[in-house]
Chains A and B, each alone.
Chain A
Amino acid sequence: MKLITFAGPPSSGKTSVIIKLIEAMAVDVSQIGVVKFDCLTSFDNLRYEEMGVRVETGFSGKLCPDHFFVSNIEAAVEWGLKCGFNTLISESAGLCNRCSPYVQGILAVCVIDNLSGVNTPRKIGPMLKMADIVVVTKGDIVSQAEREVFAFNIRQVNTSARIIFVNGITGQGASLLARHLQGAREINSLRDMKLRFTTPAAVCSYCTGEMRIGAEYQMGTMKRMEFKDR
Chain B
Amino acid sequence: MSPEKYLEMAIAMPLNQILAEHPICRDFFMNLRLTDLDWNLPLMQALDRTDQDAINEFCLDRGMILREFSLFLETFSKVATDAAAIRSLTIIGGHGKSGEPEMPRWTARVGEIVSIVGPTGSGKSRLLADIECLADADTPTGRRIHIDGREVSEKQRFDMEGKMVAQLSQNMNFVMDLTVREFLEMHAGSRMTRDAEHAIARCFDCANDLAGEKFTSDTKVTQLSGGQSRALMIADTAFMSSSPVVLIDEIENAGIDRRQAIKLLAQKEKIVFISTHDPLLALSADKRIVIRNGGISRIIETTSEEKNCLDAIEKLDTTLLRLRNQLRHGYEITMHTVTGEE
A residues neighboring B (CB under 8 Å): 114-115, 117-118, 122, 125-126, 140-149, 151-153, 155-157, 159-160, 162-165, 170, 172-173, 175-176, 179-180, 197-198
Contact = CB atoms under 8 A, between A and B. Distances in A.
Interface residues of B, number: 45
A146 B176 contact: yes
A115 B172 CA distance: 11
A201 B314 CA distance: 67
Contacts of A157: 31
Nearest to A162: B158
Given A151-B161, A156-B72, A146 B174 contact: yes
B interface secondary structure, majority:
helix
B96 to A, nearest CB: 19
B35 to A, nearest CB: 13
A155 B72 CA distance: 9
B154 A148 contact: no
Contacts, number: 98
Interface in B173-214: 173-176, 183, 186-187, 190-191
A165 B162 contact: yes
Query: Considering the complex of A and B, which 9 residue pairs feature the smallest CB-CB distances, nearest first?
Result: A152-B190, A159-B75, A145-B187, A149-B190, A144-B166, A163-B161, A159-B71, A165-B162, A145-B236
Given A148-B241, A149-B187, A160-B71, A140 B172 contact: yes
Contact of A180 (B158, B167, B191, B233): B158
Interface string B56-93: 00110000000010011011100100000000000000
A140 B125 CA distance: 13
B18 to A, nearest CB: 15
Contact of B162 (A141, A153, A163): A163
A25 to B, nearest CB: 12
A144 B172 contact: yes
B161 A197 contact: no
B27 interface: yes
A227 B161 CA distance: 44
Nearest to B237: A144
B22 interface: no
Contacts of B166: 144
Contacts of B243: 144
B311 interface: no
B27 A122 contact: yes
Given A149-B186, A151-B161, A162-B161, A143 B133 contact: no
A175 B138 contact: yes
B309 interface: no
A163 B30 CA distance: 22
